[in-house]
Amino acid sequence: MGWGSRSWGARGVALGLGTLWWWAVLRLVVEPGAGALEAAVAAGGWGLSVLPVHCVPKRQAQGVVGAGRLRRIWGAGGAGGTGAKSGKA
């Protein structure tokens, strides 16, 4: 892709949405009468920012943890998952 025309369209959309988000946040901070629209835009933009958009399917990920690993860990542990057996010292 690089610096081709296709990437400029995506950058333009991202820039426009980022500008809209900053407008909403600034209106909420500066304007005492800012309403639900600004709050919804600000909250929605923040919510989108915490989405894991760079995730890949587990089978394609590098350093992936095998299926059932947590079950084996929780099942193998005794008291507190340390593997220590309770009883006399």
Buried b (16+ CB within 10 A) or exposed e, 7-41: eeeeeeeeeeeeeebeebbebbeeeeebeeebeeb
- Per DSSP, helices labelled H in 1-89 are 5-30, 36-49, 69-76
pLDDT in the model for residue 1: 46
- How far is Cα of residue 45 from the mean position of the Cα atoms in its chain? 12
The parts of the chain modelled with pLDDT lower than 70 are 1-6, 51-54, 58-59, 61-65, 77-89
74 φ, ψ to 5°?
-65, -35
Predicted structure pTM score? 0.47
